């Protein structure tokens, strides 16, 4: 049972904060009450924009460390969030990408022909769902099929 979490907050000043908790609702309330981390106290209100569940505390805390220390810079953190379907707007707030947008973004990132299975793996969306989305994107003229079973973004 997963009851250890890594989370990302979007602060009122549009900065990002990553943390660990075993109770997401309680932790968010604490941050917004000024009882959370020193960093978020002066940047309230905060919004929880991303969470990941883990079976153990150690793995969740390693993920927090990775977010803070390995990604370090804002552009890298924004890229990570975008890869997980969350776009942080420059003027504040977020846009959560739907599966169709995730699939289209994956095709753009490949910059060449790709199989549906590759896109499903990249986006972590079920292969059958990806196939349905590909059909819609193809009908909309956003992607095309340069050869059988391969699809590509139409730039």
Q: What is the pLDDT of residue 96?
A: 84
* Residue 136, domain CATH: 1.10.10.10
Same domain membership, residue 78 and residue 32: yes
Q: Note down the domain range covering 109.
A: 99-153
Last residue of a domain, one of 37, 69, 91: 91
Structure-block tokens of residue 147? 């050869």
Same domain membership, residue 11 and residue 84: yes
Last residue of a domain, one of 91, 110, 134: 91
What CA–CA distance (Å, rounded) separates 15 from 9? 8
What CA–CA distance (Å, rounded) separates 42 from 151? 48
* Residue 19, domain CATH: 3.40.1440.10
Last residue of a domain, one of 91, 119, 144: 91
Same domain membership, residue 19 and residue 73: yes
Same domain membership, residue 34 and residue 63: yes
Is the bond into 93 cis (omega within 30 degrees of 0)? no
Closest CA to 22 of 6, 39, 45, 36: 6
**Angle at CA 71, nearest 5°, toward 55 and 105?**
85
Q: In 1-155, where does DSSP find H-type helix?
A: 24-32, 38-41, 57-65, 74-83, 99-110, 116-123, 127-139
What CA–CA distance (Å, rounded) separates 75 from 78? 5
Q: What is the pLDDT of residue 2?
A: 74
What CA–CA distance (Å, rounded) separates 58 from 66? 12
Q: Is 15 in contact with 40 (CB distance < 8 Å)?
A: no
Same domain membership, residue 129 and residue 85: no
Q: What is the pLDDT of residue 85?
A: 83
Q: How many domains does one find in the chain?
A: 2
* pLDDT means over runs of 10, the chain (155 residues): 92 97 97 94 96 96 98 95 87 86 91 92 90 89 91 89
Same domain membership, residue 25 and residue 60: yes
């Amino acid at each position: 049972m997963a009851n250890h979490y890594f989370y990302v907050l979007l602060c009122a000043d549009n900065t990002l904060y990553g943390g660990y908790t075993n109770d997401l609702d309680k932790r968010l309330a604490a941050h917004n009450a000024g009882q959370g981390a020193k960093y978020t106290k002066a940047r309230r209100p905060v919004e929880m924009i991303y969470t990941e569940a883990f079976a153990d505390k150690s793995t969740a805390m390693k993920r927090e460390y990775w977010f803070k220390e390995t990604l370090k810079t804002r552009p890298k953190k924004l890229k990570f969030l975008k890869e997980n379907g969350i776009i942080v707007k420059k003027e504040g707030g977020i846009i959560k990408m739907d599966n169709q947008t995730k699939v289209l973004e994956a095709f753009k990132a490949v910059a060449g022909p790709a199989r549906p299975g590759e896109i499903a793996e990249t986006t972590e969306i079920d292969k059958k769902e990806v196939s349905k989305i590909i059909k819609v994107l193809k009908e909309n003229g956003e992607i095309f099929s340069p050869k059988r079973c391969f699809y590509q973004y139409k730039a």
